[in-house]
């Protein structure tokens, strides 16, 4: 079984400031890691994913995340946020086993960008 | 690429009626689709895994006779909420695994908001 912890339920930040959204996971097997963004009344959009290889992953909209196996973390970062980045961000993991790898989601972090 | 659509986006119905929600993968084939439910300001809760040509696999606590799932083709899965009641009001989101990219990534639909009066 896996679990995902997003400690920060809300992160307020000023426009053009850097931001980090934290994600820690727990799993007894190797995992794939994902960050999704959800705008109000919409589905989830894939921001980036770590499947293998380089631990620094770049995604859309200027976001990046770094997989740290020893700390079981996959924090999401952006060096300069925009008002349009205001949304809910979900970290998720799935394991390498099975033919229908289910996603386990964190509880989400609300990023609120203000002027 | 990897676009998933849902229809309808909004539905309001009377208590006791059934509602069908469609989930389509528009530009890829998906042998596996997933149905989630999301309550306000909460994370997604997996309801069931929909497998093309076979029965769906339901998560613990989800009534399979209440939430009927059919995955008749590689691009279409449907969720039917039977005899809907106000407590079924929620945001339903589907996702599809892209087999072309190794099946490791789920792409999500825009969601369907159901309101049962």
pLDDT at position B1 is: 67
Closest residue to A102, CB basis, from B46, B93, B111:
B46
- Which of A32, A41, A44, A51 to mutate to probe the B interface, most B CBs <10 Å? A44
Chain B residues near residue A44 by CB distance under 8 angstroms = 44, 93, 95, 108
Residues A48 and B11: their CA atoms lie apart, in Å, by 31
Peptide bond into B17 cis (omega under 30): no
- Quote the minimal CA–CA distance from B16 to chain A in Å: 25
Question: Mean pLDDT, to the nearest integer, of B5-32?
Answer: 94
Q: In this predicted model, what pLDDT tens digit does every residue of B73-116 receive, in sequence order? A: 999 999 999 999 999 999 999 999 887 766 778 899 999 999 99
- Quote the minimal CA–CA distance from A44 to chain B in Å: 6
Q: Is B43–A103 a contact, with Cβ atoms under 8 angstroms apart?
A: no
- DSSP 8-state symbol, B19: E
Q: In this predicted model, what pLDDT tens digit does every residue of B25-72 receive, in sequence order? A: 998 888 899 999 998 888 899 999 998 888 899 999 999 999 999 998
**Exposed e or buried b per residue across A89-115, where buried means at least 16 C-beta atoms within 10 angstroms of its C-beta:** bbbbbbbeeeeebbbbbbbbbbbebee
Nearest CA in chain A to B33: A100
Q: Is B4–A43 a contact, with Cβ atoms under 8 angstroms apart?
A: yes
Integer angstrom CA distances of residue A8 from A27, A90, A96, A109, B22: 20, 11, 27, 6, 34
pLDDT at position B101 is: 66
Residues B92 and A32: their CA atoms lie apart, in Å, by 24
CA atoms within 13 A on the CB side of B100: 8
B110 touches chain A (CB under 8 A): yes
Q: In this predicted model, what pLDDT tens digit does every residue of A54-93 receive, in sequence order? A: 999 999 999 999 999 999 999 999 999 999 999 999 999 9
Q: Which of residues 7-26 of B touch A (CB under 8 A)?
A: none
Strands (E), chain B: 4-7, 10-13, 19-25, 32-38, 44-51, 57-58, 67-73, 76-81, 90-97, 106-108, 112-116
């Amino acid at each position: 079984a896996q679990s995902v912890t997003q400690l920060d339920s809300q992160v307020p930040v000023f426009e053009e400031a850097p931001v980090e959204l934290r994600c820690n996971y727990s799993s007894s097997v190797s995992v794939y890691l994902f960050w999704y963004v959800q705008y109000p009344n919409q589905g989830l959009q894939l921001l980036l994913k770590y499947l293998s290889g380089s631990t620094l992953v770049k995604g859309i909209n200027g976001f990046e995340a770094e997989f740290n196996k020893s700390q079981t973390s996959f924090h999401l970062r952006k060096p300069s946020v925009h008002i349009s980045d205001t949304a809910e961000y979900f970290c998720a993991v799935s394991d390498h086993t099975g033919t229908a790898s289910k996603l386990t989601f964190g509880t989400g972090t609300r990023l609120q960008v203000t002027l | 690429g990897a676009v998933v659509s849902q229809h309808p986006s909004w539905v309001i119905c009377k208590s006791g009626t059934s509602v069908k929600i469609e989930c389509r993968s528009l530009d890829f084939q998906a042998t596996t689709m997933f149905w989630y439910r999301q309550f306000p300001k909460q994370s997604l809760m997996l309801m069931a895994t929909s497998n093309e040509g076979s029965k769906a696999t339901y998560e613990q606590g989800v009534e399979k006779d209440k939430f009927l799932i059919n995955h008749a083709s590689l691009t279409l899965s449907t969720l039917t909420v039977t005899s809907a009641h106000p407590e079924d009001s929620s945001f339903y989101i589907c996702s599809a695994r892209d087999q072309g990219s190794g099946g490791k990534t789920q792409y999500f639909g825009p969601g369907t908001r159901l309101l049962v009066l």
